[in-house]
Homo-oligomer: A and B are copies of this chain.
């Protein structure tokens, strides 16, 4: 007997799909990280770039893009923004490319970002106490690299 006036919850045959779960999980973590990084006034991509430049001083824009899966064209406003805010410095190496490095202000921000990201990850790790994280990461890595 179906009550015609009660169906607030839909039957959802999608909810158990791996791709859907991944998308939701990713969105949740992204939103959480975005909120946490709001304290530094940076977005997740920007924080990631600071960390990457910190670990690879002197790297150039297109290398960063390759490492992050971001196209050259889309790196331009990101780097320009971080440079304009005095987080990054450019010094020419080529006639076409610049070596990127953190300014003092950038290094300070990088350290804060690193701490925030650690706390952020730790928060979710707490949720996953009963999960083999090594295996989880391995599984995600397999999926990310797909069948090539």
Contact = CB atoms under 8 A, between A and B. Distances in A.
Q: Per DSSP, are chain A's interface residues mostly helix, strand or loop, or mixed?
A: helix
Contacts of A127: 142-143, 146-147
Interface in A1-54: 7-8, 10-14, 16-30, 32-33, 44, 48, 51-52
Contacts of A140: 18, 21-22, 24-25
Chain copies in complex:
2
Contacts of A84: none
A19 B10 contact: no
Nearest to A127: B142
Interface residues of A, number: 61
Given A10-B52, A136-B139, 15 more contacts: A10-B56, A10-B59, A10-B63, A12-B52, A13-B52, A14-B48, A18-B29, A19-B26, A19-B120, A22-B29, A23-B26, A23-B29, A26-B26, A28-B143, A124-B143
